[in-house]
Amino acid sequence: MTFLIWICYLLGGGLVVLMVVPVRISTRGFFQDQGGWDYGWCVDWGMGVLSLKGALGESSCLYFLSFPIWWLRVGAQNRKKRDRKPSTPRKQPRVVFQWGAGNFGLLLSILTRFIRACGPRGHIKGQIGLDDPEHTAAVHFMANLLRQQTARFTENFTWALTSRYDEEIVDLRFHLRIRVVPGYLILIALQFLLKREIRLMWRSFPKNTARA
């Protein structure tokens, strides 16, 4: 994936440096209220690319956050107009225009598949445990209701519920997967749409002159 990113940037006329910085935010705790009931929580957030889980249930994750840095070739842009040499007008490559207009759906589907192949860019994992016989049933009911309401978001929101009534403990575990379009795809799309050939292609489309 990193190699493809480099190729796209170089073809676009720029240079990219990916700074890989580990990022992880984790919090967990345990406390006891005045009534003697125990409460515990564990929340883990980060940009995850690798997750390892041991045989006993312990897990260790590596989190990376990539910062794309973009350098533009501004040498030619800084020159004054009077110093520039007159350029000959380019001919419109009508063959390319016709191919792009006829295969716009194909290009859109390829871009969509590429975005989906990137996968979720972040996730949030958490675990909440309650040892409270007075509120266990209510928490279990609310958790089931929330899971039913969010069933349609199973692609980006997945979580599991485990209850142990013999010990009057409710163990809630959730896993939120966030799918974000990477910033470099937005830059590539903007640079592609601002090209002179693309603007001419849109202008060459036949206008609808039919009257209502």
- pLDDT tens for 166-192 read 455 566 666 655 555 555 566 666 667
- Tell me if 41 sits within 8 A of 29, measured CB to CB: yes
For residue 163, the enclosing domain spans 23-53+122-178
Residue 193: pLDDT over 60:
yes
- Quick one: average pLDDT of 90-115? 58
The number of folded domains in the chain is 1
- Tell me if 52 sits within 8 A of 59, measured CB to CB: yes
pLDDT-derived band at 13 (thresholds 50, 70, 90) equals very low
Quote the CA–CA distance of 25 and 46 in Å, as a whole number. 6
Highest mean pLDDT (candidates 56-65, 126-135, 190-199): 190-199
Would you say residue 73 lies in a domain?
no
pLDDT 10s digits, 45-79 = 544 433 333 333 344 443 333 333 333 333 444 44
Would you say residue 186 lies in a domain?
no
Would you say residue 145 lies in a domain?
yes
Would you say residue 174 lies in a domain?
yes
Would you say residue 116 lies in a domain?
no
Would you say residue 91 lies in a domain?
no
Residue 143: pLDDT over 60:
yes
Quote the CA–CA distance of 104 and 134 in Å, as a whole number. 60
Quote the CA–CA distance of 113 and 118 in Å, as a whole number. 9
With CA atoms as reference, report the closest residue to 37 among 101, 105, 132: 132
Would you say residue 167 lies in a domain?
yes
Would you say residue 62 lies in a domain?
no
More confident residue, 193 or 159: 193
For the full predicted model, state whether its pTM sits above 0.85.
no
pLDDT-derived band at 200 (thresholds 50, 70, 90) equals confident
Locate 81 and state its tokens: 């107009």
Distance between first and last Cα of the chain: 50
